[in-house]
Amino acid sequence: MSHRGDSPGMQWVSESGQVMLACVRLAVQDRSAAGAQPMASPDGGTVLVSNGEVYGSRGRVAGPWPSRTHCDTEFVLQQVASTTDVADMLRGLDGMFALAWHDTREGRTVLARDHFGVKPLVYSVVDDGLLFASEAEALLASGLVAADVDTTEFVLRSWVRMDAADERTWLKNVRCLQPAEYLEVDPPRIRLHRYWQPEPDDTPVGAEEIRAAFDRAVDQRCRADVPRAAVLSGGVDSSAAFAALRKRDIEVAPYVLQYRDGIGGSADDVAHARLVAAEHGVDLTVCELSQHAAVDLVPEVTSRLMRPLLHGAELAMYQLYQRISAQGQVVVYSGHGADEMWGYQDGGYFPIVDPAARVEIHGRHYLTHRLYPDERPLWGRLLRWMARELDVDMDDVHEQVWDRVLREYRAPAGAEPLKRGRHHLMRRFLVYVNDMVDATSSAHTLEDRPVFQDVTLAELAFRSPEYLKSSWTPGSHKDLLKKALADLLPQPVIDRRKQGFPAPVDTAYRDALRSLLADSGMPFDLPAVPRELRSELNTSELMFLASSSVWLAGPRLVRPGRPKRSDPSVFAR
């Protein structure tokens, strides 16, 4: 995992030889050797490794020893060493983090992940203990974890796509600690706990209260001893974050990505981003990505994500972060997370249900059988065909969708449907986004700081009635948030309709993906896609099939095989 840091990997081994902590550090605050990890308390009673940034704590206690650094790692170590209530201590932390610490006196190890899952933490229980890391690749490299791929799990995660972020991963033997959870390893016991969950409410929240929380979130994230950049898409969230930083005289270089020749609608992002950058007298760097360069990136990005590609944004973000890193930046500010808390596509889309739909369709049958085919019919047809070929029972998949994927929709007891949908967005789709951002940014030794993933802001969002956030009229989106941030935004940005990051859909891009799939072969050695389905495949489906095949052919993966058919050609005529 050397790409994740700029300091040599260090390790600490307990006297018993039963616990080892190791870290490759990306030094952002206090870049001296004093901030090296693993970091131990002066008495040696607690040893900590951390990933991410902790900006402070709402439940801060006085440090049990005078600070030796101005590094956030020592601040966390002081909080950990002082607490008798792990859940309460973690609940109060402000930041994005994956933590692991060992109590040398009690022999207990704790793993913890931040409230929103900005930073990843994967683990595997093996015969001789437990392994954990920031990336699954590190677990596989140990030689102690078998990289098995289960076909039912593969179909389930592919079927649900971006809402399938839960405790399981694409690998059978690797688990993912969920947001706001911590794992106590007290041999021979392993116990899992959730330490925070926002409370849905319907108490009106004013723009002034939101703005105060936003300003506090920005102030906390200003600290850094390294060059800084911002992803500026020209939308409300990234524009407000950039503007707030510039108003604090923070030097931050803005970047925006577009597909070459503006295909896919990305030129609209550039136009609005230029407007925002110009208001602050800062030059905007436009990073271009051609169709063929995007296709060439598929194998590399797939290996970083350790899964198939599910959205064109993965390639675009990887290219953008690569450019940012090449120009010497280290910290990158972004706006992702605001949609999941404060609104969505024109206020009219949730992964669970259209807010305008009748209450009765929030039922089990719709959520397990109709939602995904209705939203993505071509994708649904492709996955049903793959399931038949792999002998995967789709009824079993449907049951797991209800039991696993929609667990977070059902979690807020007594909450009305839109609040349930909001909770699902935060615990499923946002975690997928965070994992994607972390993998693509850390591949280039960058730290992405999402300004809106702040606990105080999130609690306000869940307290606010949904009708205040958006008027649900065409073109409306995050009305309440826009009101709170209005003085930071040019009017064209406020008036701009919300749109997701586009993917190119031109024939040349589709043909290049077809060629990649022809070269890589079908995943699981499946036969050619049926003729009636093959002609309809779009860029998303082609990219998914090609990346699945590339990933499954990786050197460490063990997967169920199947005999090749008489005609192995992917696009047999």
The dihedral of CA 366, 372, 376, 379: what is its sign? negative
How far is residue 228's CA from residue 434's CA, in Å, rounded to a whole number?
19
Q: Which residues contact 341 (CB under 8 A, 6 or more apart)?
A: 422, 426, 452, 457, 458, 461, 462
> 186-201 pLDDT, tens per residue?
988 999 999 999 988 8
How far is residue 364's CA from residue 298's CA, in Å, rounded to a whole number?
36
How far is residue 133's CA from residue 145's CA, in Å, rounded to a whole number?
12
Measured N-to-C along each axis, helices 291-305 and 507-520 cross at an angle, to the nearest 10 degrees, of 50
256, pLDDT greater than 90: yes
Please state which of the ranges 223-232, 288-297, 476-485, 564-573 shows the lowest mean pLDDT: 564-573
**Cα separation values, 154 from 32, 120, 160, 546, 551, Å:** 44, 20, 10, 15, 12
How far is residue 494's CA from residue 511's CA, in Å, rounded to a whole number?
37
How far is residue 262's CA from residue 291's CA, in Å, rounded to a whole number?
11
- Tracing tokens 């600490």 back to the chain, one arrives at 12
Please state which of the ranges 66-70, 237-241, 439-443, 452-456 shows the lowest mean pLDDT: 66-70
Average predicted confidence (pLDDT) for the chain: 88
Q: Which of 331-340, 358-367, 396-405 has the highest mean pLDDT?
A: 331-340
At the fourth CATH level, the homologous superfamily of domain 2-121+177-194 is Aminohydrolase, N-terminal nucleophile (Ntn) domain (3.60.20.10)
Measured N-to-C along each axis, helices 267-279 and 236-247 cross at an angle, to the nearest 10 degrees, of 20
Please state which of the ranges 164-168, 199-203, 342-346, 410-414 shows the lowest mean pLDDT: 342-346
Pairing mode, if any, of strands 175-176 and 147-148?
unpaired
8, pLDDT greater than 90: no
What are the residue ranges of helices labelled H in 377-471? 377-389, 394-400, 407-410, 417-424, 430-442, 455-463, 466-469
Nearest to 485 by CA among 292, 210, 177: 210
pLDDT score of 358: 54
List, by residue range, all CATH 3.60.20.10 domains of the chain.
Answer: 2-121+177-194
Pairing mode, if any, of strands 331-334 and 447-450?
parallel
Q: Average of pLDDT values for 278-299?
A: 92
- Cβ-contact 488, 247 below 8 angstroms: yes
Amino acid identity of 266?
A: S
How far is residue 270's CA from residue 407's CA, in Å, rounded to a whole number?
38
pLDDT score of 355: 46
Nearest to 245 by CA among 458, 55, 446, 449: 449
Count each helix (H run) and each strand (E run) in the chain, helices first: 24, 18
- Cβ-contact 472, 348 below 8 angstroms: yes
pLDDT score of 568: 36
List, by residue range, all CATH 3.40.50.620 domains of the chain.
Answer: 207-347+417-495
Burial class (CB in 10 A: 0-12, 13-18, 19+), 16: exposed
> 496-544 pLDDT, tens per residue?
877 766 666 778 888 999 999 999 999 999 999 999 999 899 889 999 9
What φ, ψ does residue 514 adopt, rounded to 5°?
-60, -40
How far is residue 127's CA from residue 111's CA, in Å, rounded to a whole number?
19
CATH T-level topology, domain 207-347+417-495: Rossmann fold (3.40.50)
Which pair of structure tokens corresponds to residue 44? 């040696």
Nearest to 230 by CA among 508, 1, 451: 451
Q: What is the pTM of this model?
A: 0.93
pLDDT score of 565: 35
The dihedral of CA 297, 303, 309, 312: what is its sign? negative
- Tracing tokens 């131990």 back to the chain, one arrives at 40
DSSP element (H, E) containing 269: helix 267-279
- Cβ-contact 66, 91 below 8 angstroms: no
Give the Cβ contact number of residue 366 at 10 Å.
15
- Cβ-contact 485, 218 below 8 angstroms: no
353, pLDDT greater than 70: no
Higher pLDDT, 454 or 127: 454
Sheet order of strands, 122-126 included: 129-133, 122-126, 175-176
Which pair of structure tokens corresponds to residue 53? 């940034």
Nearest to 111 by CA among 17, 176, 198, 40: 176
pLDDT score of 149: 95
Amino acid identity of 333?
A: Y
First-to-last alpha carbon distance for the chain, in angstroms, is 44
Cα angle, residue 98 at apex, residues 299 and 79 outer, rounded to 5° = 165
Amino acid identity of 158?
A: S
The DSSP secondary structure of 107-175, one letter per residue, reads: TEEEEEE-TT--S--EEEEETTEEEEESSHHHHHHTTSS-EE--HHHHHHHHHHGGG--SSB-SSTT-E
User: To the nearest whole percent, how much of the chain has pLDDT over 90?
Assistant: 64
Burial class (CB in 10 A: 0-12, 13-18, 19+), 138: middle
Asked if omega into 351 is within 30° of 0 (cis), the reply is: no
